Structure 1
Amino acid sequence: MAPYRVLVVDDSAFMRKIISDLILQDEQFVIAATAVNGIEAVSAAAEHKPDVITMDLEMPKMNGIEALQLIMKATPTPIIMLSGISEDNTRDTIKALQYGAFDFIRKPTSPASGDIVTVGEQLIEKLRAAVQARRGVKAEAAASVQTREPVEYRPKTPSKNELPETQNGKILKPRGTTSPATAPDKPSGELKTKAKAPLAAKTAVPNTKPVKQDKAGLLDKKTEIKPKAANQQKPPEVKQGTVKPPAAGGKKAGSAASFKHLVAIGTSTGGPRALHEVVCSLPGDFPAPVLIVQHMPPKFTKSLAQRLDSFSALTVVEAEQGMRVSTGFVYIAPGGYHMELARDNAGYAIQLTEAPQRNGHRPSVDVMFESLLPFKELERHAVIMTGMGSDGAKGMKSLAEHGAASTIAEAEETCVVYGMPRSAVECGAAKTVLPLQGIASKLVSAVFI
């Protein structure tokens, strides 16, 4: 079989060389062409018709987001964004994913930086997944630059069907939104404490102390926790005085004591767009908290929460240690931490740990799902959407076997990568299979009873 052809786009000759060398370590790929800015990228994509593209975010003349949008309109191709870790970079990366980028990796700093091997492995993994998913790109391309208005809520930006304005090759902020230079560190009203900051009271679970990480910020993927048997699990308790939910920021405030339903969603590659579709379609009076694990590194989950919050009728936050769980809120697990549900006499709360990776991930969907097993008093609704691998399938199956109200997998035809949902279906965990556009309405009908 002929090797897959890659277009490498970056304004730095040094970075083009590094990325090209990493790609050529796998004999399945060759470099079809390189480009130094977005204008050249659009032209090269049309001329060379590559199987996959790597795209820098910040470039002169035309940046990566603008080039992405034009390519997805004219010659739909899987695009992997290369991102730095600054606040602006993480914010723009989330935008790119919602506009149709297949996935992203963090840029390597230099061949001697220590993370080059990890970055190379991640890049090859994502390139392979991208070419395998290429058949679905054209069918999804038209939807990749369109979004829908949330139910019963006027988003903070005036329209989600408009692409951002551009000038001199730069993305301008949509009217009525906050510019990157003045954007708050957290969604409006969100608490300032971090998971490792001192709290009034810590959860009564011993393994919350941060563990030592490697240079890439992750533990060895081979290190896994064995799931506990269901009859050995006890609900983690949270002592009084823990952090309360952040202010709703003008949205409808919920209650930490009055809900009987809880939704938990797991996703990976293609997840930001899928989450946008589902979360922004839930009404402001949705009577269930929503817990989300999206496979992402630290800092990017914060930008994802801010982005979703700007469109959703619900308040979307990056979860913090001890944060009270309440209706009206969506809690996204922070990159680098597992997220679990805990309980005390005052109600339910978020518990974050830095326990070893599960299924190669932290946060892990399986860890989140398994933490829900003891809470049989709740109507638990588990959802797995697009993503590589099988994370979440075992946890969903355990929930299904222990009284979950609903277990839902995204259908293959709408998945960017049909990996995690496939595993959930094949092991019998998912009792319902729905296209992406039907998941929110299914959840609404399930909890409004």
Structure 2
Amino acid sequence: MDNIKVLVVDDSAFMRKVLSEMLNQHPRIHVVGTARNGEDALKKHITLRPDVITLDVEMPIMDGLQTLKYIMEKDPCPVVMVSSTTKVGAENTLLAIEYGAVDFVTKPSGAISLDMDKVRHLIIEKVLQASKANIRKPTLFKKEIEQEHKNRAMEIKKHSEMKKIIAIGTSTGGPRALKDVITNLPPKLPAPVLVVQHMPPGFTLSLAKRLDSLSEVDVKEAEDGEILKNGTVYIAPGGYHLTVKKIGAVYAVHTHQEEARRGHRPSVDVMFESLAYFPEVETIAVIMTGMGADGTEGLIKLKQSTPNCYAITETEESCTVFGMPRAAIQTKLVDESAHVQLISERILKRF
């Protein structure tokens, strides 16, 4: 296999040194250069032609967001953002993913971290995955498709007799994919939506607020014990599993911190498996872009335990990373695959 050439961009000399040493420890990764700000990064991107760029969010002269927008518009390259865990850092990181960044890594102790060794394996893994990511812009569909979304939404005039719950799992590239899906759901959607997006604590609340500001449905970070409401999207809090429990005749959120599954908490498998206990509910299970296979075991249990599970995966064409959808498709239990821009329409067909 070819070496992966990486350009490390950070305004801190200490961070440039630490990140470079970490990445160079992997036999396939070679840091070909460093840059101290966005302007410096754009010049070195042209001369060094890296396969992946690690990009600090907060920098002087030209910050990470400006730099990323320029790169993705003029000369696309896989980018992994390196962010602080502050509220502003979380919001900027989500914007970066919308602009085209493949993924992000958080600095454990703020802007200049003495604890970066804690995320050594994570940043190496994300750089390796970014080198294989699909960074092409998703195909823009014609106005007829947009009209199809509107027509389908208008058809939802009354609740179906069977209770429905929409459950979505995603990881790398997920915030962008969720934006495509959630913002196309109608305000009177006759079902609640549960979302597991692999993210650390501090980022899922910003994701929920961002999607809520763009969507007709209500979007919030899930809270333990709240009753599921139609037309509301519940995003699993970072660091907590999101499951469903029944209280009398209603269904409620249950969040907990039991053991991580496949290294993930929240886990798509755990969410899907909790829904398998309710055969009277039709679950519309959606697996979108992400590395690994989270969601596959849960989908198998859902399909085995209830006759009322309809499974949709995102197509390879629109995925940033096709790992999670591919693993689900290999079970032969997926009912259909759809481009990310059509997934909301496919969901609404179930009504």
For the criterion TM > 0.5, the same-fold answer is yes
**SS across alignment from 2:350:** helix
Give the number of equivalent residue pairs. 336
Secondary structure at 2:16's aligned position in 1? helix
C-alpha deviation, 1:94, in angstroms:
0.8
Q: Is the 8 A contact 1:256 1:326 kept in 2?
A: no
Shift of 1:33: 1.6
Q: Which residue matches 2:165?
A: 262
Match of 1:350 among 253, 257, 270: 253
Q: CA RMSD in A?
A: 2.3
Residue 383, structure 1, aligned to residue 283, structure 2: no
Distance 1:84 1:414, change over 3 A: same
Q: Confirm or deny: 8 A CA contact 1:49 1:75 kept in the other structure.
A: no
* CA-CA distance at 1:370 after TM superposition: 0.4
Q: Which residue of 1 aligns with 2:216?
A: 313
Cα distance, 1:17–1:306 mapped onto 2, change above 3 Å: same
- Work out whether residues 309 and 317 of structure 1, in 8 Å CA contact, stay in contact via their aligned partners in 2: yes
TM-score w.r.t. structure 1 length? 0.71
Shift, 1:382, TM fit = 0.1
**How far does the alpha carbon of each residue in 1:257-278 deviate from its partner, in whole angstroms, 9 at most, with x for none?**
9972110000000000000000
The equivalent of 2:317 in structure 1 is: 413
Cα displacement string for residues 369-416 of structure 1 (whole angstroms, at most 9, x for unaligned residues) = 000012122211000000011110111122123213410111111110
Describe the superposition over 1:148-193 as per-residue Cα deviations: whole angstroms up to 9, x where unpaired.
99x77xxxxxxxxxxxxxxxxxxxxxxxxxxxxxxxxxxxxxxxxx
Q: Distance in 2 between matches of 1:259 and 1:326?
A: 15
Secondary structure of the corresponding residue to residue 334 of structure 2:
coil
Give the deviation of 1:116 after TM superposition: 3.1
Cα distance in 2 for partners of 1:68, 1:259 equals 46
Q: Please give the alpha-carbon distance, in whole angstroms, between the structure 2 residues aligned to 1:123 and 1:274.
A: 22
C-alpha deviation, 1:311, in angstroms: 0.2
Matched, 1:21 2:21: yes
Query: 1:57 corresponds to which letter in structure 2?
Result: V
1:140 matches 2:134 = no
Kept in 1, the 8 Å contact 2:107–2:113? The answer is: no
Spell out, residue by residue over 1:99-138, the C-alpha distance to the aligned partner (whole angstroms, 9 max, x if none). 110000012549x9784333110001001111122xx22x
Runs (5+) with no aligned partner, structure 2: 141-145, 151-157
Aligned to 2:345: 441
Which residue in 1 is equivalent to 2:121? 121
Contact 1:76 1:141 in 2 (8 A): no
Q: Tell me, what secondary structure is at the counterpart of 1:105?
A: strand
Secondary structure at 2:243's aligned position in 1? strand
Contact conserved, 1:394 with 1:429, CA < 8 A, in 2? no
Contact 1:336 1:354 in 2 (8 A): yes
1:29 deviates by: 1.2
1:430 corresponds to 2:334? yes
Superposed displacement of residue 326, structure 1: 0.3
Partner amino acid for 2:341?
A: Q
Match of 2:107 in 1: 107
Which whole-Å deviations, capped at 9, do the CAs of 1:272-312 have from their partners, x for residues lacking one? 00000000111111111000000000010111101111101
Partner SS, residue 73 of structure 2: helix
Distance 1:293 1:19 in 2: 29
| Shift of residue 46, structure 1, vs aligned partner | 2.2
Distance 1:356 1:257, change over 3 A: farther
Q: Secondary structure at the match of 2:302?
A: helix
- Structure 1's 49 and 322: CA in aligned 2 closer, same or farther, altered over 3 A? same
Counterpart residue identity of residue 56, structure 1? D
Alignment of 1:87-102 (within 5 A): 87-102=87-102
Do the aligned partners of 2:170 and 2:287 also contact (CA within 8 Å) in 1?
yes
Preserved CA contact (<8 Å) 1:37 1:63 = yes
Q: Is the 8 A contact 2:246 2:252 kept in 1?
A: yes
| One-letter amino acid of the structure 1 residue matched with residue 27 of structure 2 | E
The residue type paired with residue 14 of structure 1 is: F
- Native 8 Å contact 2:18 2:116 kept in 1: no
Q: CA deviation at 1:333?
A: 0.2
Matched, 1:74 2:80: no
Find the counterpart in structure 2 of residue 11 from structure 1. 11
- Rounded to whole Å, the distance in 1 between the matches of 2:179 and 2:124 is 27
**In 1, Cα distance between equivalents of 2:114 and 2:64:** 26
Q: Counterparts of 1:102 and 1:113 in 2: how far apart (Å)?
A: 22
Mapped contact 2:138–2:317 kept (Cα < 8 A): no
TM-score scaled by length of structure 2 = 0.91
Q: Matched residues in 2 for 1:288 and 1:407: separation?
A: 16
Shift in Å at residue 47 of structure 1? 2.3
Aligned partners of 2:23, 2:245: CA distance in 1, in Å? 43
Structure 1 residue matching 2:219: 3-state secondary structure = strand
The CA distance in 2 between the partners of 1:59 and 1:258, in whole Å, is: 54
**1:47 and 2:47 are equivalent in the alignment:** yes
For the residue of structure 1 that corresponds to 2:5, the secondary structure is strand
Could you say what secondary structure the match of 1:122 adopts? helix
Change (3 A) 1:386 1:141: closer
Amino acid at match of 1:73: E
**Higher strand content, 1 or 2:** 2
Q: One-letter code of the match for 1:321?
A: D
Q: Is the 8 A contact 1:56 1:81 kept in 2?
A: yes
Q: Give the secondary-structure state (helix, strand or coil) at the position aligned to 2:117.
A: helix
Paired with 1:141 and 1:62, the residues of 2 have a C-alpha distance of 27
Instruction: Measure how far apart 1:350 and its partner are.
Output: 0.4
